[in-house]
Amino acid sequence: MKLHQLKTNEGSKHRVKRLGKGESSGLGKTSGKGHKGQKARSGGGVRIGFEGGQMPLHRRLPKRGFNNTAFAKVYAVLNVSDLEARFEAGDTVDEATLADRKLVQGRYYGVKILGNGEITKALNVKVSKLSASAIAKIEAAGGTIIAPATEEA
């Protein structure tokens, strides 16, 4: 096969609609938008689910069931590599010091430390939860876990 013998697959190339390029293009003048009206205007149209002012379907249907997300316990998640970067050997890691160093922000139920990364500094860790790999790495580095709780990964 030579370069001059190459050709595209059947149906892989599609003619582009050349809107507003004259009457003979078939899509000239109003460019397929008809005459006037909201949908003919720049930026015109209605949002998804809008039914012309009629009560939309998602508001007409009854709401059933229960959703527990309002009561879910959301934990701020950190890795041991984050502790390695922001703490010195012998420091105590708890929610207050993590918030001071801007490692955790916003609303959360507690802090969980995961074992991603490496740690070489001996830290005293006192947080809500730790993964098994995080516990192993912290203790291997000479650190201690002051245990409110521990958890598997």
Q: What's the pLDDT tens digit per position in 35-94?
A: 999 999 999 999 999 999 999 999 999 989 888 888 999 999 999 999 999 999 999 999
Specify if 13 maps to a domain. no
Per-residue pLDDT, 67: 86
Domain count, the chain: 2
Cα(112)–Cα(95) distance, integer angstroms: 10
- Does any domain span residue 4? no
Residue 120's CATH number: 3.100.10.10
**Across 58-117, where does the E strand assignment appear?**
75-79, 92-93, 110-114
- The model's pLDDT over 123-149, given as tens digits with 9 standing for 90+, comes to 999 999 999 999 999 999 999 998 665
Is there a domain that residue 28 lies in? Answer: yes
C-alpha dihedral (37, 38, 43, 47), degrees to nearest 10: -160
Question: Could you give the 3-state DSSP secondary structure of residue 5?
Answer: helix
Domain limits at 38? Answer: 20-63
